[in-house]
Amino acid sequence: MSQKPTVREQIQKDVEDLARLGYGQQLFREMGGFSNFAVSFSIISVLTGAIVLFGYGLKFAGPIINSVGWPVVSFFTLCVAASMAELASVYATAGGLYFWAFRLGGRTWAWVTAWMNMIGQVTITAGTNWAAALYFIGAMTRVFHVASNARVPFFGTLDNHYFQILVMVVIMIPQIVINITGIKLMARLNDFSVWWHIGGVLIIAWLLTFFAQHHSSISFLFSHATSVSPLDAASDTLKDGKVAPALVFGDVKIASPLFGLVPSLAGLYKAGPFVLVFLLGLLQAQWTYTGFDASANTAEETVAAHLNSAWGIFLSVAVSAIVGYVLLMILTWCIPPGKLAETANDAYPVLYIVDHNLNGFFANLIAVIIGVAMWLCGCSGLTSMARTWYAFARDDGMPGAALVKRVNPRFGTPVWSILITSTFVVLICL
């Protein structure tokens, strides 16, 4: 009977497998299977995506987007995750998508994939941490009963764009320090994040099940209602004062070229047939299921990477599907009667639900659980982002690659990749 290899022997095999793919071992290989799963699970973060976007699907399609839409998106995302897991088991390298594209499609597809993925990683991390900043500001105003436009020194008001960015930077500083310090600390933090998310969802479910003032009928969970038409959601006020479908970049608003090319779209979006609003509402779940390629991006820091990174990708989606469904159904079940539109259009719909169902202590407890989960999500996102940039720089695929690919000998982390990409996260918000 063959003996199970020791950790040292398995790491040696991982190093040899990586060498066969053309790379030397530079990063510290200190993550186990659970930690590899944890990094993707933390980035998916149902307590971030499903919470921040709870009102998005609800205002288009109503409760059915949670009861039916979430399982539909979960199934197809699992199919994608299964395919990615198979690739990760064969090509266990950092920045997995870029290397897979190179092996399967050649240099051109690798280059396109790398840049789309790197830009995407920056925008994901920016979106997560900015959402966390907005949430923290909003939660604090509710907890301490402060007006949302209360004045603050230098910035004018709490809802000032640059004050929000300042809060985001404050959130990111400890994330950057922890990521630089080493993958062992990040692995422990991600392990903690898994139990925080699962425990947090169970606490929310328990409090709302036994202490909530409002519980809807089962039929309500499968009902359809549109509180905001797709046309209204796609429209904004342009320079000439006209309200029309628009593309918005910060304070810059331009008429939507798509609606200009296809004028009939305006009528379709105004009518808002069920198929359209349901499909648009599915984006709520699709946006939540991002970042599970992190298990592949950290493969070179994972023991038995060909096995653990593959399972990390698949299980992060599978567990999120179950935990997320429990969370969404409980929250939908507790929407106050006759307040569907108010809930969907509130800036913080989940806080609206808990505020109208629980006493102040329990509502504040849930607010803290969600806030910590968002910070953990951003921290893991920064890890994946930095590894994606490091992997492409290692092959000299970008300007400044010599700096981006540099690994700190003490910490075993791509310090410059972490710092540069974090700077881009702030710049894209500016």
Domain boundaries, the chain: 28-226+291-429
Tens digit of each residue's pLDDT (9 = 90 or more) over 23-73: 778 777 778 888 888 889 999 999 998 898 999 999 999 999 999 999 999
- Helices 305-333 and 7-20 sit at what angle, rounded to 10 degrees? 100
Specify the higher pLDDT residue, 169 or 94. Answer: 169
Q: Is the dihedral of CA 63, 65, 71, 77 positive or negative?
A: negative
Average pLDDT, the chain: 91
Give me the residue label for tokens 């240099």. 107
Compute the average pLDDT of residues 216-230: 93
Q: Is the pLDDT of residue 423 over 90?
A: yes
What are the residue ranges of helices labelled H in 290-359? 294-297, 305-333, 340-345, 349-355
Tens digit of each residue's pLDDT (9 = 90 or more) over 3-20: 777 878 788 887 787 788
Give me the residue label for tokens 């890890």. 383
Specify the higher pLDDT residue, 140 or 369. Answer: 369
Q: Is the pLDDT of residue 240 over 80?
A: yes
Compute the average pLDDT of residues 187-204: 93
Give the pLDDT of residue 1. Answer: 52
CATH topology of domain 28-226+291-429: Amino acid/polyamine transporter I (1.20.1740)
For the chain, percent of residues with pLDDT exceeding 70? 100
Phi, psi of 363 (to 5 degrees): -65, -40
How distant, in Å, are the alpha carbons of 162, 222, 385, 389, 415 from that of 180? 26, 46, 13, 15, 6
Give the pLDDT of residue 95. Answer: 78
Residue type present at position 120: G
What are the residue ranges of helices labelled H in 144-214? 161-181, 183-211
Give the pLDDT of residue 333. Answer: 96
Tens digit of each residue's pLDDT (9 = 90 or more) over 287-342: 999 888 888 888 888 888 888 899 999 999 999 999 999 999 999 999 999 999 99
Q: Is the pLDDT of residue 2 over 70?
A: no
